């Protein structure tokens, strides 16, 4: 089965299928995530809490939440597959504003980063409406993808009004823990203003916060961390410089090679030769 990706601005809808029996990932998302489990088992672990979701379930994950996810399945003949909607605060604000629902927030109510949503006829019918695009090949443009994500959020609020106080926290802008954010994103080849925006900051605030934590500039820190990661890959695997420079955040091989030699006083292509001679 094919994976599908539909993007609209910085948001997206992803239909994915896992081929491995068990996939474990540590994530720190810079978007809110709404996941529908089509097949298999999804396990989310945050701290000491563990949540298990099975076929048909929905789950909301708040952005900037450090979570370990496990995708797997039982028995033979099934696989893991899911539909994941990623979105920002503005879409939650639109969904809440379009509905005249008033729910009082209880003073003792605990606000969660992970919200379990049981399936119901409204949400099931919504998922069925996506089959036209994912299973039958009908094209979905960015505008329609945004409307479908908005429809999903409105469906959740209408059928689970008790979750409205929780969802209101999803509509509030906040800042990422910069240490966690950079740990999970330093290999991405993005401009500084993109790192700033995704971490919930202006560029000037991002630079100020960054230098207060790391005692150096973002550009210098990023280059050093990427080169250190490249060195580990070249020494621990059989991969060559041309195989890794892109995933290490560099745009071209020549720039990577020059930077690597300047940092380690050796060409990256000579790493294997050096190890063999020892």
Q: What is the model's pLDDT at position 250?
A: 96
Whole-number pLDDT of residue 33: 95
Within 13 A of 180's CA, how many CA atoms are on the CB side? 14
pLDDT (tens place) for every residue of the chain, 278 residues total: 557 777 766 678 888 888 888 999 999 999 999 999 999 999 999 999 999 999 999 999 999 999 999 999 987 767 899 999 999 899 999 998 888 776 665 555 567 899 999 889 999 999 999 888 887 777 888 888 889 999 999 999 989 888 888 888 888 888 999 999 999 999 999 999 999 999 999 999 999 999 999 999 999 999 999 999 999 999 999 899 999 999 999 999 999 999 999 999 999 999 865 555 55
Helices (H) and strands (E) in the chain, counts: 11, 10
Task: Confirm if 65 and 125 have CB atoms less than 8 A apart.
Answer: no
72 and 184: one domain? no
Q: Are residues 199 and 228 in the same domain?
A: no
Same domain, 46 and 30: yes
Neighbours of 183 (CB within 10 A): 13
CATH of the domain at 243: 1.10.10.60
Task: Output the pLDDT for position 104.
Answer: 60
Residues 140 and 16 in one domain: yes
- CATH code at 123? 2.60.120.810
130 and 243 together in one domain: no
Q: Could you identify the residue written with the tokens 């059928």?
A: 159
Domain containing residue 49:
4-170
């Amino acid at each position: 089965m094919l994976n599908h990706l539909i993007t609209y601005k910085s948001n997206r809808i992803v239909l994915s299928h896992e081929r491995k029996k068990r996939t474990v990932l540590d994530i720190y998302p810079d978007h809110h995530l709404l996941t529908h489990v089509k097949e298999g088992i999804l396990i989310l672990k945050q701290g000491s809490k563990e949540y298990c979701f099975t076929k048909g379930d929905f789950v909301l994950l708040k952005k900037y939440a450090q979570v370990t996810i496990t995708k797997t399945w039982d028995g033979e003949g099934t696989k893991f597959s899911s539909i994941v909607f990623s979105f920002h605060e503005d879409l939650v604000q639109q969904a809440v504003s379009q509905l005249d629902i008033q729910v009082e927030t209880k003073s003792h109510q605990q606000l969660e980063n992970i919200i379990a949503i049981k399936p119901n006829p409204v949400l099931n019918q919504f998922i069925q409406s996506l089959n036209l695009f994912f299973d039958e090949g009908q094209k979905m443009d960015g505008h329609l993808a945004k409307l479908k994500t908005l429809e999903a959020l409105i469906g959740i609020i209408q059928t689970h009004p008790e979750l409205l106080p929780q969802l209101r926290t999803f509509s509030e802008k906040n800042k990422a823990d910069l240490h966690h954010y950079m740990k999970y994103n330093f290999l991405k080849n993005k401009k500084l203003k993109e790192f700033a925006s995704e971490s919930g900051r202006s560029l000037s605030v991002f630079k100020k916060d960054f230098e207060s934590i790391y005692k150096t500039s973002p550009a210098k820190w990023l280059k050093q961390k990427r080169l250190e990661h490249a060195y580990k890959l070249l020494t621990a695997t059989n991969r060559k410089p041309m195989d890794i420079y892109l995933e290490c955040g560099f745009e071209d091989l020549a720039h990577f090679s020059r930077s690597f030699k300047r940092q380690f006083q050796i060409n990256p292509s000579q790493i294997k030769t050096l190890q063999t001679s020892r």
